[in-house]
């Protein structure tokens, strides 16, 4: 039995004369879709598998399909004779273009056997001479296959060998998708052993050492089973490269850490094994530090570096780590240029004023779904760009040693104790390739039909249709993009209750959070009005400065949830903003938060202030029509019932009773929406109920929990009667009495006409098993839902039919919109350019364009 090694991501080229058993072999050892057969596609393009005139088109089809499959990272088998060198060269080129390994399997069968098999076929009629010529070609060239570029050549001689062969498909070394961490990714250490130990301690690791000198053994433990993942460049420049190597080698050997190589390891390896290399750029320091170590230690270092894999794809493909970064097309691939990219990155071929090569800004073009975390290029602050993050914060140059917690995406840093090495170029964002873009021009090509990578880890799709809708909204209806620093997410309801007469009940919301490990939730009164984002500046100058709108006379804006101006009347908006501003002044808000602007997420009441047209054209007339029709019908039914002798259907008494019930339902519907309407003559009749203090200068306050938000905002609301505080309570989900009390409160609140409540995990952004969970669930009351599901939704069997709703799509959208909206806000607060902020806003609106049940 022969075992043929075929790497999981490779292009397998079968080589053999017609009738040598290629197709039979392929069908036995590879998947149905993995095999591309020239015979099959000759048939597809010509209706005749034997039509040699169709070979050119068939091969073009084959190459096209193989190209698509390899781009998608799928093993592909070419089932054609491939006895000609120029054909094989075509496949080798294709494999290289996709950075996959070309593999040849040669079927060396006596020409007589092939000819006999071909004779036996119905559809193919060519002579034995053709088969003999193919076999001759093959025999001449088979020994050249390695030279042609095939990385594996399996030569099967004879029918028996072919029958006995089995295929083994090892996964690529880079594939660690089944490793879910959690990890702490650590950037370029460069021999900074003290900072490394401090960082490990900060991250919660306990490092122990047993033994002395080269024989010492390091071990590491973490209470949550986390593992450090080193992004290369452990050595050079710093004071303790040997000690860093010693520690990391021990951990990697024990399986308690993961490491990928950097360019400095590659250089050290070359020096260790060949004695060659330029000792500049810090290598001399490492050479000196390794000198007192024993020969065995140095050999171990060389072996260790040799065994390092260029990059890894981890955590179901969500994380890619490589020292110098990784293009999407290269991730998980194997070739010389992939390894070179992982170690050195790409350069433009130009040098900067310090004589250093200008790196090609691959991250700017990155559109992958996987987060790429890398080091290599020292920068002052780690900042996500298109779902990529460089965490080399230049420790050895006196910066910081930074780690990224995965999957939490939190950054942890320790400062360098000193400058160990003067950088050639000051530590700053390196000069990028000059862009021909205008800095402030809005551009949606960045996101249209792609995904917005967010720091919350949610990759938000922006479909072309959704993007088109967003462009229309933004171009025709929305406020100036500079005001649009955030848009709020939609909110999903809890899953449907099974209780009689209820679609929603707090139990389901509590159960959702309990199941996801949330211990405490905050229940908030759900105000029934219209969502409003309120931007308030301390004065007009502050707004002009921060939002870059020099012509704005007004020191703030009130925006609807889709980014429109909330008020058509400037005076009303100005008056409302003035009231909020004086409440902020009085509370000393500006000083407390060291800011001169604030973004509040709020509900603005009454509903009728914004929804008047809807009430006039829809809610009012439905009630009027129902009242008139039901009253007239009741009278007629009663009159007829009094004199009717016989009835072939329901008797009229039953119809009368049903009609009376419908009239009651309609009255309840009317009462439900009338509660949310009152006349507004001026700003005094408005109520603003802020529930999130979203951002101030330098801060997005999603790191504070909802208790903080509620307490801070309640304090603020005391300053003005038009500010309405939100009734709220903190509920410990393990405390049955507290849960019951919250449920009772919801029952009483909704019975008294309240819309319902919003249940939020105590933390603003809560995660379960590393993934973001719903930030809030609404639980709406029975009466309120009449406004949503229609006056008669509780009658007959209607409710049971309505229960078959699914909240999944809505929940997905809620998370995507949350991530995109906060991404926009984080970017704004970080002072990023307008187009970057705007991309998040476009993504929210594109998600909003998705068709989803409007009743949810």
Partner 1 sequence: MLLTLTTTHQPATDLGFLLRKHPDRAQAFPLPWGTAHVMWPEAGKERATVALVLEVDPITLVRGQATSSETGPLAQYVNDRPYVASSIFATAMNKVFRVSSARTCTERPELGGLPMPLSVHLPVVRCKGGEGLVRRLFEPLGYAVDVARLPVDDAHPDWGGSSLHALTLSATLPLADLLSHLYVLLPVLDDARHHWVGQAEVDKLVERAGDWLAGHPEKETITERYLRRQHGLVRGALRQLVPDAPDEDDEDADEVEAAEAAIERPARLDTVRRDTVLATLEASGCTTVADVGCGEGKLLHALLARPAFTRVVGLDASPAAVERARRRLKLDRRPSHWTERLELGVGSAVYRDARLDDLDAVVLVEVIEHMEADRLPLLEAAIFAGAQPRVVVVTTPNVAYNALFEAMKPGAFRHADHRFEWDRPTFEAWAGGVAARCGYAVRFAPIGAVDPTLGAPTQMAVFTREGSA
* Subset of residues 606 to 635 that bind partner 1, contact rule: CB under 8 A: 614-633
- DSSP state letter for 565: B
Torsion angle, alpha carbons of 243, 249, 254, 255, to 10? 120
Whether a cis peptide bond, with omega within 30° of 0, leads into 296 is: no
Of 399 and 556, the one with the shorter C-beta distance to partner 1 is 556
SS (H, E, C) 95-141: HHHCCCEEEEEEEECCHHHHHHHHHHCCCCCCCHHHHHHHHHHHHHH
Q: How far is the CB of 337 from partner 1 (least distance, A)?
A: 28
Q: Which of 549, 574, 657, 660 binds partner 1 (CB under 8 A)?
A: 549
The verdict on 62 binding partner 1 (CB under 8 A) reads: no
The verdict on 367 binding partner 1 (CB under 8 A) reads: no
Look at residues 191, 731, 672 and name the one whose alpha carbon lies nearest to residue 513: 731
The verdict on 668 binding partner 1 (CB under 8 A) reads: no
The verdict on 480 binding partner 1 (CB under 8 A) reads: yes
Under 8 Å between Cβ of 223 and 406:
no
CA-based torsion, 347, 351, 354, 360: positive or negative: negative
Residues 392-411 that bind partner 1 (CB under 8 A): none
The verdict on 443 binding partner 1 (CB under 8 A) reads: yes
Of 474 and 487, the one with the shorter C-beta distance to partner 1 is 474
Look at residues 779, 757, 782, 746 and name the one whose alpha carbon lies nearest to residue 668: 782
Q: Which stretch binds partner 1 (CB under 8 A): 255-263, 402-410, 435-443, 491-499?
A: 435-443
Could you tell me the CA-to-CA distances from 649 to 646, 652, 653, 655 in Å, in that order?
9, 8, 11, 10
In the shown chain, the binding pattern of residues 209 to 248 toward partner 1, with x for contact by CB under 8 A and - for none, equals: ----------------------------------------
Q: How far is CA 64 from the centre of its chain?
A: 30
d(CA 232, CA 344): 11
Buried b (16+ CB within 10 A) or exposed e, 740-751: eebbebbeebbe
Structure tokens at 86: 């120029």
The verdict on 647 binding partner 1 (CB under 8 A) reads: yes
- DSSP state letter for 170: P
Q: Which of 4, 161, 578, 655 binds partner 1 (CB under 8 A)?
A: 655
The verdict on 125 binding partner 1 (CB under 8 A) reads: no
Residues 824-853 that bind partner 1 (CB under 8 A): 835
Q: How far is the CB of 633 from partner 1 (least distance, A)?
A: 5
Q: How far is the CB of 789 from partner 1 (least distance, A)?
A: 6
Q: Which stretch binds partner 1 (CB under 8 A): 307-315, 332-340, 468-476, 523-531?
A: 468-476
Q: Which of 471, 668, 707, 830 binds partner 1 (CB under 8 A)?
A: 471
The verdict on 468 binding partner 1 (CB under 8 A) reads: yes
Of 157 and 624, the one with the shorter C-beta distance to partner 1 is 624
Q: Which of 674, 699, 704, 729 binds partner 1 (CB under 8 A)?
A: 674
Q: How far is the CB of 691 from partner 1 (least distance, A)?
A: 24
Beta bridge partner(s), residue 728: 524
Q: Which of 123, 355, 476, 737 binds partner 1 (CB under 8 A)?
A: 476
Residues 701-730 that bind partner 1 (CB under 8 A): none
Could you identify the residue written with the tokens 């050895």? 396
The verdict on 438 binding partner 1 (CB under 8 A) reads: yes
d(CA 776, CA 522): 9
Q: Which stretch binds partner 1 (CB under 8 A): 48-56, 242-250, 523-531, 647-655?
A: 647-655
Q: How far is the CB of 827 from partner 1 (least distance, A)?
A: 18
Q: How far is the CB of 441 from partner 1 (least distance, A)?
A: 4
Residue 437 phi/psi, 5° resolution? -70, 150
The verdict on 572 binding partner 1 (CB under 8 A) reads: no
Q: Which of 3, 348, 639, 740 binds partner 1 (CB under 8 A)?
A: 639
d(CA 775, CA 792): 32
The verdict on 685 binding partner 1 (CB under 8 A) reads: no
Q: How far is the CB of 791 from partner 1 (least distance, A)?
A: 7
Instruction: Find the helix or strand (DSSP H, E) in which 351 lies.
Output: strand 347-351
The verdict on 651 binding partner 1 (CB under 8 A) reads: yes
The verdict on 348 binding partner 1 (CB under 8 A) reads: no
Of 10 and 530, the one with the shorter C-beta distance to partner 1 is 530
3-state SS, residue 625: helix
What is the CB neighbour count within 10 angstroms for residue 705? 20
Of 63 and 792, the one with the shorter C-beta distance to partner 1 is 792
The verdict on 740 binding partner 1 (CB under 8 A) reads: no
Q: Which of 291, 441, 736, 737 binds partner 1 (CB under 8 A)?
A: 441
The verdict on 356 binding partner 1 (CB under 8 A) reads: no
The verdict on 768 binding partner 1 (CB under 8 A) reads: no
The verdict on 591 binding partner 1 (CB under 8 A) reads: no
d(CA 34, CA 23): 12
First-to-last alpha carbon distance for the chain, in angstroms, is: 62
Could you identify the residue written with the tokens 């593992």? 227
- DSSP state letter for 394: B
The verdict on 646 binding partner 1 (CB under 8 A) reads: yes
d(CA 662, CA 666): 6
Residues 769-828 that bind partner 1 (CB under 8 A): 787-793, 798, 801-802
- DSSP state letter for 833: -
The verdict on 649 binding partner 1 (CB under 8 A) reads: yes
3-state SS, residue 382: coil
Q: Are strands 699-700 and 728-732 parallel, antiparallel or unpaired?
A: unpaired
Q: Which of 677, 707, 741, 765 binds partner 1 (CB under 8 A)?
A: 677
Under 8 Å between Cβ of 723 and 667:
no
Of 295 and 679, the one with the shorter C-beta distance to partner 1 is 679
Structure tokens at 446: 């960045």
3-state SS, residue 278: coil
């Amino acid at each position: 039995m022969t075992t043929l090694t075929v790497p999981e991501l490779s292009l397998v080229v079968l080589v053999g004369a017609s009738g040598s058993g290629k197709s039979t072999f392929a069908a036995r050892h590879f998947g149905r879709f993995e095999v591309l057969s020239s015979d099959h596609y000759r048939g597809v393009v010509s209706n005749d598998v034997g039509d040699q005139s169709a070979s050119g088109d068939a091969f073009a089809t084959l190459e096209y399909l193989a190209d698509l499959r390899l781009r998608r990272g799928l093993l592909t088998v070419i089932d054609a004779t491939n006895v000609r060198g120029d054909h094989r060269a075509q496949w080798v080129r294709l494999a290289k273009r996709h950075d996959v390994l070309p593999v040849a399997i040669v079927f060396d069968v006596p020409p007589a056997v092939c000819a006999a098999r071909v004779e036996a076929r119905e559809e193919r009629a060519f002579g034995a001479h053709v088969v003999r010529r193919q076999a001759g070609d093959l025999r001449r060239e088979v020994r050249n296959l390695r030279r042609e570029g095939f990385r594996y050549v399996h030569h099967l001689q004879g029918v028996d060998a072919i029958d006995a062969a089995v295929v083994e498909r090892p996964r690529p070394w880079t594939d660690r998708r089944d490793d879910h961490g959690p990890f702490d990714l650590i950037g370029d250490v460069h021999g900074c052993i003290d900072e490394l130990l401090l960082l490990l301690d900060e991250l919660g690791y306990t490092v122990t050492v047993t033994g002395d000198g080269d024989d010492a053994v390091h071990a590491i433990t973490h209470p949550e089973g986390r593992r450090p993942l080193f992004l290369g460049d452990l050595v050079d420049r710093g004071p303790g490269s040997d000690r860093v190597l010693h520690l990391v080698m021990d951990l990697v050997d024990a399986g308690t850490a993961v490491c990928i190589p950097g360019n400095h390891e590659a250089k050290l390896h070359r020096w260790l094994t060949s004695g060659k290399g330029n000792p500049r750029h810090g290598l001399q320091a490492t050479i000196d530090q390794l000198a007192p170590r024993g020969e065995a230690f140095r050999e171990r270092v060389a072996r260790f570096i040799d065994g390092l894999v260029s990059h890894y794809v981890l955590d179901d493909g969500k994380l890619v780590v490589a020292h110098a970064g990784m293009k999407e097309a290269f991730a998980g691939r194997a070739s010389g240029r992939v390894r070179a990219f992982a170690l050195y990155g790409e350069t433009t071929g130009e040098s900067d004023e310090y004589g250093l090569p200008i790196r090609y800004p691959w991250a700017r073009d990155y559109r992958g779904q996987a987060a790429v975390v890398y080091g290599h290029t020292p920068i002052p602050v780690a900042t996500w760009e298109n779902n990529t993050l460089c965490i080399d914060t230049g420790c050895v140059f006196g910066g910081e040693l930074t780690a990224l917690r995965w999957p939490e995406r939190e950054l942890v840093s320790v400062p360098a104790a000193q400058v160990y090495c003067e950088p050639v170029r000051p530590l700053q964002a390196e000069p990028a390739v000059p862009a021909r873009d205008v800095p402030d021009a809005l551009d949606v090509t960045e996101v249209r039909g792609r995904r917005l990578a967010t720091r919350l880890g949610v990759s938000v799709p922006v479909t072309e249709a959704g993007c088109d809708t967003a462009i229309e909204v933004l171009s025709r209806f929305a406020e100036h993009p500079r005001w649009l620093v955030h848009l709020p997410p939609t909110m999903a309801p809890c899953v449907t209750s099974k209780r009689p007469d209820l679609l929603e009940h707090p139990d389901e919301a509590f159960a959702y959070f309990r199941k996801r490990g949330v211990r405490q939730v905050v229940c908030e009164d759900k105000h029934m009005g219209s969502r409003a984002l309120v931007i308030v500046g301390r004065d007009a100058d502050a707004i002009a400065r921060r939002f870059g709108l020099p012509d704005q006379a007004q020191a703030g804006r009130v925006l609807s949830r889709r980014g429109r101006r909330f008020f058509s009347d400037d005076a009303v908006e100005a008056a409302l903003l003035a009231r909020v501003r004086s409440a902020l002044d009085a509370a000393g808000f500006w000083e407390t938060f060291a800011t001169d602007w604030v973004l509040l997420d709020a509900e603005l009441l009454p509903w009728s202030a914004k929804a008047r047209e809807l009430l006039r054209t829809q809610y009012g007339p439905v009630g009027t029509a129902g009242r008139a029709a039901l009253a007239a019908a009741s009278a007629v039914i009663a009159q007829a019932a009094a004199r009717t002798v016989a009835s072939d259907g329901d008797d009229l008494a039953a119809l009368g009773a049903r009609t009376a019930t419908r009239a009651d339902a309609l009255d309840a519907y009317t009462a439900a929406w009338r509660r949310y309407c009152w006349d507004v003559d001026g700003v005094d009749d408005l109520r603003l109920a802020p529930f999130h203090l979203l951002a101030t200068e330098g801060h997005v306050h999603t790191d504070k929990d909802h208790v903080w938000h509620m307490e801070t905002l309640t304090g603020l609301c005391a300053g003005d009667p038009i500010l309405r505080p939100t009734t709220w309570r903190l509920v410990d989900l393990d405390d049955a009495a507290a849960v019951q009390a919250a449920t009772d409160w919801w029952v009483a609140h909704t019975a008294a006409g309240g819309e319902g409540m919003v249940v939020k995990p105590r933390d603003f952004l809560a995660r379960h098993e590393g993934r973001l969970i719903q930030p809030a669930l609404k639980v709406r009351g029975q009466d309120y839902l009449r406004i949503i599901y229609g006056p008669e939704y509780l009658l007959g069997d209607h409710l049971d039919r309505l229960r078959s709703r699914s909240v999944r799509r809505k929940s997905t959208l809620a998370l995507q919109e949350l991530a995109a909206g906060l991404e926009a806000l984080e970017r704004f607060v970080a002072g990023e350019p307008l187009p970057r902020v705007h991309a998040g806003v476009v993504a929210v609106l594109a998600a909003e364009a998705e068709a989803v049940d409007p009743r949810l």
